A = this chain, B = another copy of it.
Amino acid sequence: MKKLINSVDAIVTDTLRGVAAAHPSLRVDFENRVIYRRNAPHQGKVGLVSGGGAGHEPLHGGFVGYGMLDAACPGEVFTSPVPDQMIEASKGVDGGAGVLHIVKNYTGDVLNFEMAAELCADEGIEVASVLVNDDVAVQDSLYTAGRRGTGATLFVEKIAGALAETGAPLAEVARLAQEVNERSRSFGVALSAGTVPAAGKPTFDLSDTEIELGIGIHGEPGRTRTTHREAREIARLAMDAVNDDVPLSGDTLVLLNGMGGTPLLELYIMYGEVAAYLEEKGARAVRCLVGNYVTSLDMQGFSVSVCRLTDELTRLWDAPVETPGLRWAADRPHG
């Protein structure tokens, strides 16, 4: 294993150091491991807090800023952060309007955020939580921990963040976050697994002719393995899984997401196939992102997330955002 790190133990601290140096719009609390908007808390605005294991950058720290998160708590690589971080972050962003916890549905994240929310309540901070669980690769049944939260987390953070900037109350921001999650579905495919630094080798092995379908963002193996094939067919496998879950129609927001080790060139090829698939189903990608947004270290592969838009969601998606990982202005020059 070769990584650009100083030591396995220093990964999170050193990353935070880089983030702090790179982004004067952020404030980094190294002691508590929280990344804040520089001027947090914002009076009267609902504070948005998310967090999760490191290794998914730019998620979540890269989405802290105007129009998105107020704070992010990075855990160790692929390990959910601890309640102390979330409590500290919630205190730091509460401008009197309460705090929304955006939690990806993993047992670890859920348990730690739950504990934090309880302790926040003890300290008089109003907290609402939204659970993101968009990954159709996992059966949502009594026999699993439920669906994983993956790409749709970005949708929830962006759209709920935009609503929070308008001064909407906590219950409304939480309801909308929930709605975005419900309207979103994702599916991921790996060509190779990433290497968790502490483990020192890829979390699973694939031969030169195999791909893994339905992977999550923690290097978990997927549900099935199949033979590698051309981009068009792989796109179809992924999109069929999404479409079988909720038939695609109307205007959609699409995230064609790289897992960290796949060139943008290939992501654009996949996006072309996904857009064609949507058209075939009578749906349209009216907004999209193509790139590395919700990654899994150096995993090679992609995930596709689709959110069925409403006018409100489109408007909030288009609202200005100013974070290291996502930024656009209200009136951007065109053409």
Contacts and interface: CB of A to CB of B under 8 A. Distances in A.
B333 A67 contact: yes
Contacts of A6: 230-232, 269
Nearest to A2: B191
Contact of A263 (B19, B20, B295): B295
Nearest to A20: B272
Contact of A18 (B230, B268, B297): B268
Given A21-B275, A272-B21, A335-B38, A55 B232 contact: no
A231 B194 CA distance: 19
Task: Count identical subunits in the complex.
Answer: 2
A302 B335 contact: no
A134 interface: no
A262 interface: yes
Nearest to A259: B263
Contact of A1 (B67, B208, B269, B298): B208
A52 interface: no
Contact of A66 (B5, B298, B333): B333
Contacts of A292: 264, 292
A300 B300 contact: no
A5 B58 contact: no
A322 interface: yes
Interface string A66-90: 1100000000010000000000000
B18 A269 contact: yes
Most chain B beta carbons < 10 A, residue from A39, A231, A320: A231
Contacts of A298: 261-263, 300
Interface stretch (A7-15, A102-110, A123-131, A144-152): A7-15
A288 interface: yes
A47 interface: no
Interface string A269-283: 111110110000000
A285 interface: yes
B231 A37 contact: no
A59 B318 CA distance: 25
A14 B232 CA distance: 10
A171 interface: no
Contacts of A333: 66-67, 320, 322
A204 interface: no
Most chain B beta carbons < 10 A, residue from A21, A272, A275, A329: A21
21 contacts: A2-B191, A2-B192, A4-B191, A4-B262, A4-B266, A4-B267, A4-B270, A4-B302, A6-B231, A6-B269, A17-B269, A18-B269, A22-B268, A37-B335, A57-B265, A58-B264, A261-B261, A261-B262, A292-B292, A320-B329, A322-B333
Interchain residue pairs A-B with the least CB separation, the first 6: A329-B329, A18-B268, A39-B335, A18-B272, A17-B272, A57-B264
